[in-house]
Structures are given as structure tokens and as C-alpha cells.
Amino acid sequence: MIYPLLGLSIVLAILFLMAFLWANKTGQNDDMYTPSVRMLFDDQPQPPAEEQSDEDHIQT
């Protein structure tokens, strides 16, 4: 029983390694910074006026 399970665990680990190597090869690790900023942008950014009132709200 232990032999197939061991084999399975190693195969699984190799799959993860392959996934990482593929990501690395296609350049997904080249830029580690921009995506972290990009995800914070709203799809429909709020107009500046509203943002201004938000700021005031926090300050008072």
C-alpha cells in the first residue's frame, strides 16, 4: 500500500514543481511588483469630487 501512495505523493509534488517552472518560463515571476498595484485599481474609478469628500470625512 505504501508504494503507490509514495509514488502518488512524489508525482503530485512533481506536478507542483512543473507548474512553478512553467510560470517561471513564461515570465510570470519577472515583474513581482506591478500586479500588486494593478489589482488595487477600481474598474470604474470614482470621480475626484467624491474622493475629496471621503477624505474630509476621515479628517473630521
Interface residues toward another protein, by CB under 8 A: 2-3, 6, 10, 13-14, 17, 20-21, 24-25, 27, 29-34, 37-38, 40-41, 45-48, 51, 56, 59
Instruction: Give the whole-angstrom CA distance, residue 35 versus residue 23.
Output: 15
Residue 37 Cβ vs another protein, minimum distance, rounded to whole Å? 5
Q: DSSP letters of 1-20?
A: -HHHHHHHHHHHHHHHHHHH
Residue 47 Cβ vs another protein, minimum distance, rounded to whole Å? 7
**28: which DSSP letter?**
T
Residue 27 Cβ vs another protein, minimum distance, rounded to whole Å? 7
Question: Could you tell me how many residues make up the chain?
Answer: 60
